[in-house]
Structure 1
Amino acid sequence: MEELLDILKELHPDVDFEHCTTLIDDKILDSIDIVSLVAEINDAFDVAVPAEEIVPENFNSAQALWEMIQRLDEV
């Protein structure tokens, strides 16, 4: 999880990713951020994020992202 938080903080150092649960809803993350995140997640965690997983529910919080990574890692 720490590595994911580091990746997120590189994108937006001013955001409290540990507590924010509205990253998409409040437009903190935009489409460019999502593309960057998917690439970083692929590199850092060696998981491929399929298109059907790129939904707001999976990107609204660091915890949701982490749960998605864990789910994809089991496949």
Structure 2
Amino acid sequence: MEALLEILTNLHPEVDFKSCKTLVDDRIIDSFDIVTIISEINDEYDVVIPAEEIIPDNFNSAEALYELILRLEDE
């Protein structure tokens, strides 16, 4: 989780990613950020996020994103 928080903080240092649960809903991160996040996750965790998983629910919080990573690692 710490590596993910570092990825997110590097994009938007002003955001408290530990508590924010509305990253997409409140437009804190946009589509360009999501592309960057996906690439960084691929590099850091060696998982590929399939297109069908690129939905707001999976990107609204660091916690949801980490759960997605864990789920993909198990597959």
Regarding TM over 0.5, the answer is yes
Distance 1:56 1:47 in 2: 19
Q: Which runs of 5+ in 2 are unaligned?
A: none
Q: Give the residue type in structure 1 aligned to 2:14.
A: D
Aligned mates of 1:7, 1:37 — CA distance in 2: 7
Match of 1:45 in 2: 45
Aligned pairs, number: 75
TM-superposed deviation, 1:8 = 0.2
Aligned positions of 1:1-75 closer than 5 A = 1-75=1-75
* Deviation by residue 1:9-42 (Cα, 9 ceiling, x = unmatched): 0000000000000000000000000000000000
Q: What is the Cα-based RMSD across aligned positions, in Å?
A: 0.3
Percent identical among aligned pairs is: 61
TM-score (norm 2): 0.99
Deviations 1:17-73 (A, max 9, x none): 000000000000000000000000000000000000000000000000000000000
Which ranges of 4 or more aligned residues in structure 1 deviate by more than 6 Å? Answer: none
Q: Secondary structure at the match of 1:18?
A: coil
| Structure 1 portions without partners, runs of 5+ | none
